[in-house]
Amino acid sequence: MDKKYLLTVLIVGGILLFFLMPGKYDGLAKCMTEKGVKVYGAYWCPNCQKQEELFGKSYDYINYVECAVEGSGEQNELCRKAGIEAYPTWELPNGQRIIGVRTPEELAEITDCPLS
């Protein structure tokens, strides 16, 4: 078998495997979203980026609310009305808010969702 062909198959297979494999915290993220948990953040916020990194691709299942108005230093109306003052801000279904980066383990305990 040609080495170039084999290398191509391995690379393409690896890429497909990456995109088709579930994220480590998909179950947690889906459970939190189903329960009504949301997180407010801003695209320019380093702590929000850190929060996203902790969840990896499972963050796609998090109910994320973007608060920044792109191209300005302003907050959008939705977040202003909600009284969001720091990012990230996690909002639980009971109205409780938790400010700052939280590990998936912490959020699983807080929300009573499985860590998976």
pLDDT of the residue at 3: 66
What's the pTM value of the predicted model, to 2 decimals?
0.79
* pLDDT 10s digits, 13-31: 444 444 556 689 999 999 9
What is the overall mean pLDDT for the chain? Answer: 87
pLDDT, tens digit, 9 for 90 and up, residues 86-102: 999 999 999 999 999 99
Tokens of 13: 């297979």
Nearest 5 degrees, angle CA 88-CA 95-CA 112? 80
pLDDT at 103 over 60: yes
Question: Residue with structure tokens 């202003």?
Answer: 80
Looking at 1-116, list the stretches that DSSP marks H as alpha helix, in order from N- to C-terminal side. 3-20, 26-34, 46-55, 77-82, 104-111
Encode pLDDT of 32-72 as tens digits. Answer: 999 999 999 999 999 999 999 999 999 999 999 999 998 77
DSSP 72: S
Domain residue ranges in the chain: 23-111
CATH code, 23-111: 3.40.30.10
State the amino acid at position 59 in one-letter form: Y
pLDDT for the residue 7:
53
Residue 32's Cβ-count burial label (10 Å; 0-12, 13-18, 19+) is buried
Nearest to 55 by CA among 34, 79, 39: 39
Structure tokens at 80: 């202003």
pLDDT one-digit tens code per residue, 1-10: 676 655 554 5
